[in-house]
Chains A and B, each alone.
Chain A
Amino acid sequence: MRPWVTLAAAVLLLMTAGTAQAQESEIETLRAAVEEMRADYDARIAELERRLAVAEQNTKQAKYATQQTAVMQADVSSGNSGPAAFNPAIGVIFQGQAWHFSKNPDDYAIQGFPFGGEAGPIDEGLGIGETELIFNANVDDKFSAWLTAALALEDGEGVVEIEEAWVEATALPAGLGAKFGRFFSGIGYLNSKHSHAWDFADQPLPYQAFLGDQYIDNGVQLRWLAPTNLYMEFGGEWLQGSRYPAGGNADSGFGSYSLFANFGGDAGSDSSWLAGISYLDNAAIDRPSGDEDDPLIFNGDSKLGIAQFVWKWSPNGNWKQKNFVFQSEFFWRREDGDYVLPGGTPILYGVDQTGWYAQAVYQPIPRWRFGGRVDGLSTDDPGLLFVGTALAAPPSDPRRYSIMADWSNSEFSRLRLQFTRDEAGPLDDTQWGIQYIHSIGAHGAHAF
């Protein structure tokens, strides 16, 4: 029995005792208890002194050896570090903005390029963008999985959208990788980048016009990486064709396929580059675009080719202090089929269109970045039958000029100011806004 319990019992006895005789025996008990306590503490002090002496006698080498063994044992149970410390890793990304337009953004449209998918101007005034919930983890030793759920407000109603939900096979041999589920297509450079990793608040015009902001679909992706010093990646996807620039799950739900090849390497210790080409082939059935309430309907084939180049520079490759990124993509699109104009009959449509953007972002000191971007589009005239419609070629090629400055307190927070001169819409427009991007929880590493 612990000494203090004995003592307490003795005190209790003492208090309830009636006679002197009883009191005497109780004093004895009390004394015994105190003795017991003293003996116990003496033993403990002796033990502590012994341990102190042992510790003092230990040589440095022995000290390190025991510590290391202890940690190694601890590590066996805790596993290695990394995002899997949480299972699954959970992250939330908050985005919002205040945006001003000199012309009414409700009337915004680019002549000759009716928008589909998610493309379009940023919401006017104060607002929040998509709040992204990200979950990811290894499923087992052969698969990993990723979920991005986008929480958004649409007309005041909260909606949850499955942005990405894919499983990746991690244990394939010979440099192969496979992904299946819902994912951003691997075409182009910006297509697979999450909006929180963009350098500007909106996508360049060709992404808006040709890919509905970003092409995301359900399907499978296969990638192969060559065993060479030069980075050479080849991939292909087979996709459902559920959304712009495809539509209607054509070909029994195998409506789109893509092919892509990427190459990259370093140029000295300061610079690195990535270049690639990709091709996306879509079949579209009753694909809507343009005005949401009164859309244009397209049936036919849409073929898109993209060439991209990215160059990154930082002195000695020490990214944190100073860096510069140049990136540019060129798009070519051919659409063949027919368009149904609102209230009309199908008219044969076949045009070639191009689009491009070039941007540069410079971080002269930690935290601060400054960037500029030019983007543009160009289209053939679809013919006399389309005169006066949203599909007729514009009088001059659409152009847009943007500059931005952003400040990141840490890699988890960013505030951005952006100014855009838009000469793509019906009226030249001046837009500017402030955007925030913040993330909490686990945050995956960013690709190049």
Chain B
Amino acid sequence: MKTIHVLLLALLPVTATAELEVFACEPGWAALATEIGGSHVNTFSATTALQDPHYIQARPSLIAKVRRADLVLCSGAQLEIGWLPALLQKANNRKVLPGSNGYMEASSYVLRLDATGNVDRAQGDIHPEGNPHIQTDPHNVAAVAKALGERMILIDPENAGVYEAGLANFLARWQEAIEVWEAKAETLRGAKAITHHKSWVYLERWLGIEEVANLEAIPGLPPTPTHLSRLTKKFDEGGADFIIRSPYQDARPSEWLSERVGIAAIVLPLTVGGTEQAQDLFSLFDDIIERLLEARVHE
């Protein structure tokens, strides 16, 4: 009987509500939309922090969500190029097609690093428009928040007051938090990091951490044994403070290198939900800095 109920519920057309339906490609953007819109938005994240956002299946459930979305909010800079176009094509929702008000790429509102303009794939999974993992710098998050607030007002002008107040409230708390984080992370300035993928360039620029190597020899392709043994020689005598990977990345390469060169291998949440502690945008950065500081202490 319960199954039948669930089935009937699934079949019922979702009734129109006053809520703004936000389809976020990554959980961080879903969290940001909630910070600004509160109970006036209904957010959904296409991916979790435990999934590599480059490689997502264009699942039927996601198409069904895009069909009903008022706003599609993604990182952009080609991060979702392998699946988002397939969702948009199948979803028959003209409100959220690129170029319309209902489509927003967060990376369009910040300074993107590593923009090469070069599309030679011999260099691996290069994003010619720059590194798309922009959410690891809270200043970027603030810039996106402002643009997102404006966009929400544009789509749903009736609730403009809610979004304006939500944005102002968020930005005030965010600015305060940034000051706390920056003070706390002062000792990290000049630290050296080896990262699995080039996912952390914005965090590194923000905190003054130097990226000295990547585990991936070519961006996007799995670390090779040859490259890893080269790294063991290079960092034989130390030369780095931590080896950073994201929760969805294979643990073995960084653990393997860590064991051989004695540099701490750590997992940092790349977005909300990446670790048990990173439950919203604020605790995300709390946790990132906590984990970096802890790794440094244990050196």
Stretch in B11-19, B22-30, B186-194, B254-262 touching the partner: B11-19
A172 lies within 8 A of B94 (CB): yes
Bitwise, A427-438 to B at CB < 8 A (1) or not (0) is: 000000000000
Q: Kindly state whether residue A426 has any CB partner on chain B within 8 Å.
A: no
Nearest chain-B residue to A263 (Cβ)?
Answer: B60
Question: Which secondary structure characterizes the binding site on chain B?
Answer: loop
Nearest-neighbour CB distance to chain A for B108, whole angstroms, equals 4
B58 lies within 8 A of A446 (CB): yes
Stretch in A107-115, A204-212, A265-273, A327-335 touching the partner: A265-273
Report how far A233 CA is from B63 CA in the complex, Å: 10
Q: Kindly state whether residue A182 has any CB partner on chain B within 8 Å.
A: no
B129 lies within 8 A of A81 (CB): yes
Query: Which residues does chain A contribute within 8 Å of B151, judged by CB atoms?
Result: none
A68 lies within 8 A of B81 (CB): no
Report how far A318 CA is from B142 CA in the complex, Å: 29
Report how far A319 CA is from B57 CA in the complex, Å: 7
Q: Pick from A61, A175, A317: contact of B92, CB below 8 A.
A: A175
Q: Pick from A80, A273, A319, A320: contact of B99, CB below 8 A.
A: A80
Nearest-neighbour CB distance to chain A for B226, whole angstroms, equals 15
Query: Which residues does chain A contribute within 8 Å of B238, judged by CB atoms?
Result: none
Query: Which residues does chain A contribute within 8 Å of B220, judged by CB atoms?
Result: 410
B98 lies within 8 A of A84 (CB): yes
Nearest-neighbour CB distance to chain B for A442, whole angstroms, equals 9
Chain A interface category by residue count: 35 or more
Report how far A439 CA is from B101 CA in the complex, Å: 33
A410 lies within 8 A of B125 (CB): yes
B59 lies within 8 A of A80 (CB): no
Query: Which residues does chain B contribute within 8 Å of A440, judged by CB atoms?
Result: 121
**Given A81-B77, A81-B78, A410-B220: A272 and B60 interface contact (C-beta under 8 Å):** yes
Q: Pick from A230, A319, A447: contact of B10, CB below 8 A.
A: A230
Nearest-neighbour CB distance to chain B for A260, whole angstroms, equals 13
Report how far A159 CA is from B134 CA in the complex, Å: 47
Q: Kindly state whether residue B124 has any CB partner on chain A within 8 Å.
A: yes
Query: Which residues does chain B contribute within 8 Å of A85, judged by CB atoms?
Result: 128-129
Report how far A67 CA is from B202 CA in the complex, Å: 14
CB neighbors of A among B32-83 (8 A): 47-48, 50-52, 54-61, 63-65, 67-68, 76-78, 81-83
B93 lies within 8 A of A231 (CB): no
Report how far A141 CA is from B124 CA in the complex, Å: 33
Report how far A304 CA is from B76 CA in the complex, Å: 42
B64 lies within 8 A of A141 (CB): no
A410 lies within 8 A of B61 (CB): no
A70 lies within 8 A of B111 (CB): yes
Q: Kindly state whether residue B210 has any CB partner on chain A within 8 Å.
A: no
Nearest-neighbour CB distance to chain A for B211, whole angstroms, equals 20
A80 lies within 8 A of B108 (CB): yes
Q: Pick from B63, B105, B121: contact of A80, CB below 8 A.
A: B105
Nearest-neighbour CB distance to chain B for A286, whole angstroms, equals 37
Q: Pick from A71, A272, A316: contact of B51, CB below 8 A.
A: A316
Q: Kindly state whether residue B248 has any CB partner on chain A within 8 Å.
A: yes
Given A64-B139, A72-B147, A316-B51, 4 further pairs, Cβ under 8 A = A228-B10, A262-B60, A266-B61, A445-B84
Interface residues of B (CB under 8 A from A): 10-14, 47-48, 50-52, 54-61, 63-65, 67-68, 76-78, 81-87, 89-94, 97-99, 103, 105, 107-112, 121, 124-125, 128-129, 139, 142-143, 147, 182, 220-222, 248, 250
Listed from nearest, the 6 A-B pairs whose CB atoms lie closest are: A264-B60, A231-B60, A445-B86, A320-B55, A67-B111, A177-B92
